[in-house]
């Protein structure tokens, strides 16, 4: 169905009314800013003169190439992205981590070319006019080192951006390797995108019933009892199966020991999944391969477990982004699962998602 232009503010009010919610002034302000932004760009490429005029204006020094919405988890960023994508033609929506995995794959295809990132940008520009990034966050040096040139190449091909993130631009890639070399990317984002902070005090995801999974609380249980609790939850996924089929699975060339593997569901210990050499791409492949991931037992984590915590964050992101059912069995509630400080901000989003599982109120808690 062809999208019809309309007011994002009106669409926001209609969505809020239809769901029986209350108007949030921060969200309303952001919707108005997105509406103004979409009005500044043409909705079709039929008039070459108008497009050329826009191109000259948007690529001049300081010209606007989109919007960067940021704020704490649950402040309505995804809702605003939903409304924009529904209303504006030419959008391609993607989560940032899978997008960057695809970019690196395409760079291998263009290896040896004079400007491989330019070729990647050309490929993207042929698909869309608006590139809409959900959950923009930079965690690894491979992404950090190419991001500025990639964004420049996309701007040169007339691609515009809508970005949602839990981080302000200058908070991206905190403590990362060679972060100084990443600062030009931050400068580009701040200069070329309208930065919009959502400052609502309310987390709209707390109490949401839109969950896909479960959270098994293991506190107070002996190890054998905890293992039996997880086993019972896993067996309930495939009641006709008499064997859990433990063994090994291979993900992107790496072997992972599994406790169970039946009918599209897999049970993996936290140590096997998050203590070894794993990349975010591994978790994405797992989430795409299985309809249900059972992970546990997950211990309480501290600043001595930062690598494992980062992998848990990637795992929860991958399951959420693909709609994969996630069952987490842990020794503490989500808000008590990480006791450190260094990744407290990054863990907020993961905690919010785990709280949605914990709040589902199933018989396993």
Joined together, the tokens standing for residue 297 give 């037992």
pLDDT at 88 over 70: yes
Rounded CA gap, 3 and 5, in Å? 7
Look-up of token digits 């987490």: 328
Rounded CA gap, 78 and 198, in Å? 12
Write down the pTM of the prediction. 0.69
Rounded CA gap, 359 and 160, in Å? 38
- Whole-number pLDDT of residue 5: 46
Mean pLDDT of 49-63: 47
Look-up of token digits 């978790």: 283
Position with higher pLDDT, 84 vs 321: 84
Confidence of residue 362 (pLDDT cuts 50, 70, 90): very low
pLDDT at 191 over 70: yes
Q: Which residues pair with 123 in a beta bridge?
A: none
Q: What is the DSSP string of 224-251?
A: HHHHHHHHHHHHTT-TT-S----EEEEE
Mean pLDDT of the chain: 86
**How confident is the model over 110-123, as pLDDT tens digits?**
998 999 999 999 99
pLDDT at 361 over 70: no
- Whole-number pLDDT of residue 258: 94
Rounded CA gap, 11 and 44, in Å? 21
Confidence of residue 6 (pLDDT cuts 50, 70, 90): low
Cβ pair 315, 283 in contact under 8 A: yes
Selection from 250, 222, 245, 223 nearest residue 234 by Cα: 245
**How confident is the model over 221-273, as pLDDT tens digits?**
999 999 999 999 998 887 777 788 899 999 988 899 999 999 889 999 999 99
Mean pLDDT of 22-50: 75
pLDDT at 1 over 60: no
Residue 344's alpha-carbon distances to 63, 100, 260, in angstroms, are 35, 24, 32
Domains and CATH numbers, the chain: 8-197 (3.40.50.300), 213-358 (3.40.50)
Interhelix angle 306-322/280-289, rounded to 10 degrees, is: 40
Mean pLDDT of 145-167: 94
- Whole-number pLDDT of residue 330: 95
Position with higher pLDDT, 47 vs 186: 186
Confidence of residue 359 (pLDDT cuts 50, 70, 90): low
Rounded CA gap, 16 and 34, in Å? 17
Provide, rounded to the nearest whole percent, the portion of the chain with pLDDT above 90: 58
């Amino acid at each position: 169905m062809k999208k019809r232009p309309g007011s994002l503010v009106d669409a926001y009010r209609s969505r809020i009314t239809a769901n029986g919610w209350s108007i949030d002034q921060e969200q309303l302000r952001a919707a108005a800013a997105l509406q103004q932004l979409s009005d500044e760009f043409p909705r079709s490429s039929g008039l070459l003169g108008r497009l050329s005029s826009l191109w000259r204006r948007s690529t001049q020094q300081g010209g606007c190439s989109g919007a960067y919405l940021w704020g704490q988890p649950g402040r309505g960023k995804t809702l605003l992205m939903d409304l924009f994508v529904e209303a504006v033609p030419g959008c391609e929506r993607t989560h940032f981590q899978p997008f960057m995995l695809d970019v690196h794959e395409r760079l291998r295809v263009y290896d040896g070319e004079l400007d491989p990132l330019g070729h990647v940008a050309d490929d993207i520009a042929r698909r869309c006019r608006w590139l809409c990034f959900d959950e923009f966050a930079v965690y690894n040096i491979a992404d950090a080192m190419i991001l500025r040139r990639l964004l420049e190449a996309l701007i040169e091909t007339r691609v515009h951006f809508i970005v949602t993130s839990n981080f302000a631009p200058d908070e991206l890639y905190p403590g990362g390797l060679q972060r100084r070399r990443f600062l030009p990317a931050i400068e580009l984002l701040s200069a070329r995108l309208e930065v919009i902070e959502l400052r609502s005090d309310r987390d709209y995801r707390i109490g949401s019933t839109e969950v896909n999974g479960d959270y098994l609380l293991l506190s107070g249980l002996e190890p054998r009892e905890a293992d039996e609790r997880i086993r019972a939850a896993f067996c309930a996924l495939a009641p006709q199966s008499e064997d859990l089929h433990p063994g090994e699975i291979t993900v992107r060339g790496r072997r992972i020991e599994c406790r169970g593997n039946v009918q599209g569901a897999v049970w993996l210990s936290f140590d096997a999944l998050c203590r070894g050499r794993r990349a975010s791409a591994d978790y994405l492949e797992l989430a795409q391969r299985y309809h249900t991931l059972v992970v546990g037992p997950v211990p309480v984590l501290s600043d001595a477990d930062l690598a494992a915590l980062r992998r848990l964050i990637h795992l929860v992101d991958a399951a959420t982004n693909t709609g994969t059912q996630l069952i987490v069995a842990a020794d503490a509630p989500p808000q008590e699962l990480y006791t450190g400080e260094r990744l407290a901000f990054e863990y907020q989003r993961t905690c919010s998602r785990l709280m949605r599982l914990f709040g589902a109120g199933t018989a396993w808690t």
